Amino acid sequence: MCYMSGSIQMDNLFLPENEGNIWYWLFGKNATSVVFLNQGANDGFVAIAAPSLARILPIDLAMFGGQLLCQPDAFLCSVNDVRVTNSIDQRVRNVVAGPEVILRQKIEGQVVQKNLDVGEVLIVDASCIVAMTATVNFQIKSTGPIRRMVFGGENLISVELTGPGMVFLQSLPFYRFSQRIARAVTSPNMRENPKFFIQIAIFFVLAYVMIVSSLILTDI
pLDDT at position 66 is: 80
The string of DSSP codes covering 115-174 is EE-TT-EEEEEGGGEEEE-TT-EEEEEESS-HHHHHH--S--EEEEEESSEEEEEESS-H
C-alpha–C-alpha distance, residues 205 and 126, integer Å? 44
Bridge partners (DSSP) listed for residue 138: 161
- Residues 158-202 pLDDT 10s: 888 998 999 988 877 777 777 777 777 665 555 555 566 677 788
Give the CATH H-level superfamily of domain 85-180: Mitochondrial biogenesis AIM24 (3.60.160.10)
Nearest to 20 by CA among 83, 101, 105: 83
Domain ranges of the chain: 85-180, 194-219
Provide the residue count of the chain.
Answer: 220
pTM of the predicted model as reported, rounded to 2 decimal places: 0.58
- Residues 62-106 pLDDT 10s: 888 788 888 777 778 887 667 776 665 544 344 343 333 444 454
- Residues 106-150 pLDDT 10s: 455 567 888 999 999 998 887 788 888 888 988 887 666 555 555
